[in-house]
Amino acid sequence: MNIIPVKTGRPYEIRIEKGLLAQTGALLRPQFRGQNLAVISDSRVAELYLKPLLDSLEAAGFGRPATFSVPQGEESKSLQMTSILYNFLAERHIRRSDCLIALGGGVVGDLTGFVASTFCRGMSFVQVPTTLLAQIDSSVGGKTAVNLPAGKNMVGTFWQPSLVVCDPDTLDTLPEDIFAAGVAEALKYGMIRDEKLFDLLALDGAREHIEEVISRCVTIKREIVQNDERDTGERMLLNFGHTLGHGVESGSHYALSHGFSVAIGMNMIVKASVARGLTAPSVLERLEKGCRRYGLPTFYDGDLERVLEICRSDKKSEAGSLKAILLHSLGDGYIQPFSFEEFESFVREGLE
């Protein structure tokens, strides 16, 4: 088993191993002996993995947990669903000393984490991520959120889990496009920090090396989060491709998934950097090839002006400026502040 400790304000471990879902109960027992558990999942994941999880909890001596499945999809990351979950937990007499388990992708993880951080002024939660994106990104680092009509992730907290139980076998049931969306985030880690990881993905294949891919990604995220838990500096590196990606995702009215939009965002920003002579053209060629291998898009054929308008209202932008992530070379990302005007001409020129 690969055990990756995360030394944040509240330290925890990420455990990665094929078949680990069946050991969740045993892994939880030392930390949560005697506590009540509640499992939050979504309808699809519950169908596939709730029973094995409940069996493992029972085998470890836990009483039957309360369980709740939200509808699949981003719409469940809402204040309405948060309120439904608060009432569910209150009715089941769940208290601050108890523990929530998030079984699912990033939607379930972000929602459950947000509920855990606010219910009874904050309680423990454990992440059992079942998508590649959740295993390498959203289950680690403690960002929780729900969406508002005004924008994605507009209400949230920093609230670290008590444990992350990552079973790569659960990825076997993921549809290819959802797997590929996770690969986009894995390519991102390679682009900003780890050329070998990038080549592993682009040349050898993610599924063939899944445990290594997850471990390398999580190790990079762990290091960055430990240095900047509250996202005021180095953690912004994780936004490589994301400012434009969010613009594309929202500009497409969410027809393009987060991962697909990030793939487009990475290609757009690297194209712009190449046009300015800041990044070698070979970096762009390798990125395009890596994306194509997984059927990830490399360009946006929608309205660029709308995308740039959305970038201005990105929640991470400051008065009149934003920070973009550029590359000195493949595997070496850096933070570059731009005024909105500079950023827009940088991107437009790159796409001419």
Least separation, in Å, of the C-beta of 327 and ligand NAD? 20
Least separation, in Å, of the C-beta of 277 and ligand NAD? 32
Least separation, in Å, of the C-beta of 166 and ligand NAD? 12
| CA within 13 Å, CB half, 127 | 36
Cα separation of 272 and 279, whole Å?
9
Looking at the Cβ atoms of 137 and 314, the one nearer to ligand GLY is 137
Candidates 143, 222, 246, 271; binder of ligand GLY (CB under 6 A) is: 143
| Sole window of 72-80, 85-93, 116-124, 311-319 interacting with ligand NAD (rule: CB under 6 A) | 72-80
Burial class for 297, CB neighbours closer than 10 Å (0-12, 13-18, 19+): middle
Find the largest Cα–Cα distance for the chain. 63
Cα separation of 1 and 167, whole Å?
10
**Residue at shortest CB range from ligand NAD:** 106
Candidates 127, 170, 252, 273; binder of ligand NAD (CB under 6 A) is: 170
Span 160-219, contacts to ligand GLY by CB under 6 A: none
Candidates 74, 211, 231, 309; binder of ligand GLY (CB under 6 A) is: 231
Q: Which one of ligand GLY, ligand NAD, none is in contact with 44 (Cβ closer than 5 to 8 A by kind)?
A: ligand NAD
Question: Contact 271/350 with Cβ under 8 angstroms?
Answer: yes
Region of residue 249 (left: phi > 0; alpha: psi -120 to 50; beta: else): alpha
Cα separation of 77 and 74, whole Å?
6
| Sole window of 55-63, 87-95, 136-144, 268-276 interacting with ligand NAD (rule: CB under 6 A) | 136-144
Cα separation of 309 and 281, whole Å?
27
Let me know how long the chain is.
Answer: 352
Q: Which one of ligand GLY, ligand NAD, none is in contact with 331 (Cβ closer than 5 to 8 A by kind)?
A: none
Residues near 218 by Cβ (< 8 Å), separated by ≥ 6?
4, 14, 16, 135, 136, 140, 166
| CA within 13 Å, CB half, 257 | 19
Name the residues that contact ligand NAD, by CB under 6 A. 42, 44-45, 48, 72-74, 77, 104-108, 110, 130-131, 133-134, 137-138, 141, 143, 152-153, 170, 173-174, 178, 181, 258
Footprint of ligand GLY on this chain (CB under 6 A)? 137, 141, 143, 231, 235, 238
